[in-house]
Structure 1
Amino acid sequence: MIKQLNAVVQAVEGQLGDPATDELDVATLAHRLATTEYHLRRMFSALAGMPLSEYARRRRMTAAAHDLLTGDDDLLTVAVRHGYGSVEAFTRAFRGVHGATPSVVRRDGGPLRAQGPIRFHLTVEGSTVMEARLTALPAFRVVGRAARVPLVHLGENPHIRDLVASVPPEEHARLKAMSEGEPAGILAVSTDLDPDRREGTELTYLHGVVTSRDPGDFDVIEVPALTWAVFRSSGPYPRALQETWAATATEWFPANPWLLVQGPEIVAVLERAEDFSTATTEIWLPVEPDRS
């Protein structure tokens, strides 16, 4: 996977300053690298800390700033060289990265927020013991309370917090009584996620349980038959859960022949302290064998 991600970086670099190229064709690139577009985007986002599309935009605008400061071409020429058909569109993109317009940067020499080329390296530490298992499940139904919410990268998502807080105690009791099968426990289900995990994009979040019973007035997500990689963690909440989630990308997937596929991502709370200071949780991620 590390080699494939570095190939993506090289592809981005190869398109800089070439007006004949369009946006990076990630699907074709993934096929050439014997992986899937979904897995490639997800691993890039998880390891680089930003979506692939955002990284490509930052590199393009870093190269554009260099052209502005070292050449005499007019703004339209620079804009076209970096894939924009008008000065207005180029200016919006440039300001979005650097916080200043191209004309100001050319005049004052800045401010600039340069994005250097990323290099992925595999670091072998062995410091994290991951409790993981693989299981194939038939299709199942999750019922509970659902809402469309924006993706928030840092800190608590207030939209999800408000949804969970809006579920009355008697509904929680009904859900617990309906729970059966796996994944067990009260579930946090996220689906319809943007593959690049761009902040602000919407996803469907459901707070509920797996059941085959009549859902009544609860919201429903139908989950198809999939193979799942399941990662268990116990300890301080949410720190232990967050560390395990990060380790799936940095340690488990690079070392194991499995690819992420599109589908719901599920966190199951199996046990917890009364004040939620500690918890035992499971992360369920849909996967398929890497046959490359």
Structure 2
Amino acid sequence: MELLDKMNRAIEYMESNITNRIDYEKVANEIGYSVHHFQRMFSFITDISMVEYVRRRRMTMAAFELQNSSMKVIDIALKYGYESPEAFTRAFQNLHGITPTTARNKGISLKAYPRISFQISIKGVSEMKYRIETREAFQVYGIERIFDTNYDENLREIPNFWDEVLSNGECDKLAESTGNLNNQGELCPVNAICEYRKTGGTTFPYMICALKSDKSDTTGYKIVEIPSATWAIFTSEEYDIDDVSTAFQDLNKRAHTEWLPTSTYNKLEGYDLEMYYEKESGKGYCESWIRVESKTE
């Protein structure tokens, strides 16, 4: 399958450069993905980040060398990209629970993380709710931040971004700017979109946004034009509002790792939408909107 082939090629690159500086932008471009999409797909499939995978593999290989060679600790540290023995020792101890020097003793228990190989996994026991819709171009507007995939900064900072706008009143202000709060049914006035323009390197844009209408006051906000497209729209089960982040991540993961690889559609990068809904009962549900094209086109 195309997705598995691409991910295995990415692993081959990372393994071939395990003692070098790994250029995540280069490997993503070589398999036809943006860095953000590649990083997200890797995390969805493996449940760990690319940075963590590389760290584990380096510490696994370093442990082998400590036990089976006479190389100095400082030389092994430099080989695996650490500028000082102290930094290497901290990283090694965090993973193995012992120092590199202790690891040379016979009978010491160490951890090994094998190279990943992507293969077909039979899933799909749980149903997935989805629909395919074609939409004309529309606009959203809102509050933008630029995030970096290096060291998985985005995984930490996007939730912080939401916390910030919810606590400082910006989310309420954005909702009020729509002038349409009572006419959207269960759809919340504030949603999100990512990767709608190129920002260079390993960065991508993310916007907490609202749908633009003739009632919207967009003063001071950035406006994004979303092109006409065919969308695969995935709907979550209902959840308690406090569980919204986990629910969306689970939904998005299943869409990318279970539905897309076996469907008759290819994903088009960019303009991924997060849509949130609240029912009168207080329960919520969410949708992941992914641009797609038919594989037969």
TM-score by length of 2: 0.69
| AA in 2 matched with 1:251 | E
CA RMSD, Structure 1 to Structure 2 (Å): 4.3
Q: How does 1:85-104 map onto structure 2 within 5 Å?
A: 86-87=84-85, 90-91=88-89, 93-95=91-93, 97-98=95-96, 101-104=99-102
Match of 2:121 in 1: 123
Verify: 1:5 aligned to 2:3, yes or no.
no
Measured in 2, the distance between the counterparts of 1:125 and 1:88 equals: 44
Unaligned runs of 5+ in 1: 194-200
Match of 2:267 in 1: 259
Bigger Cα displacement from structure 2, 60-69 vs 250-259: 250-259
Match of 1:250 among 253, 257, 265: 257
Verify: 1:51 aligned to 2:49, yes or no.
yes
Match of 1:186 in 2: 189
Q: How does 1:13-162 map onto structure 2 within 5 Å?
A: 13-16=15-18, 21-23=20-22, 27-28=26-27, 31=30, 33=31, 35-38=32-35, 39-84=37-82, 86-87=84-85, 90-91=88-89, 93-95=91-93, 97-98=95-96, 101-106=99-104, 112-127=110-125, 128-135=127-134, 137-138=136-137, 140-143=139-142, 151-152=154-155, 157=159, 160-162=162-164
Bigger Cα displacement from structure 2, 164-173 vs 62-71: 164-173
Question: Number of residues paired by the alignment?
Answer: 274
TM-fit CA distance, 1:284:
1.9
TM-fit CA distance, 1:2:
2.0
| AA in 1 matched with 2:137 | P
CA contact (8 A) 1:130 1:244 kept: no
CA 1:99–1:157 in 2, change beyond 3 Å: closer, same or farther? farther
TM-score by length of 1: 0.70
Measured in 1, the distance between the counterparts of 2:176 and 2:194 equals: 24
TM-fit CA distance, 1:64:
0.6
CA contact (8 A) 1:151 1:203 kept: no
CA 1:116–1:138 in 2, change beyond 3 Å: closer, same or farther? same
Percent sequence identity is 22
TM-fit CA distance, 1:74:
0.8
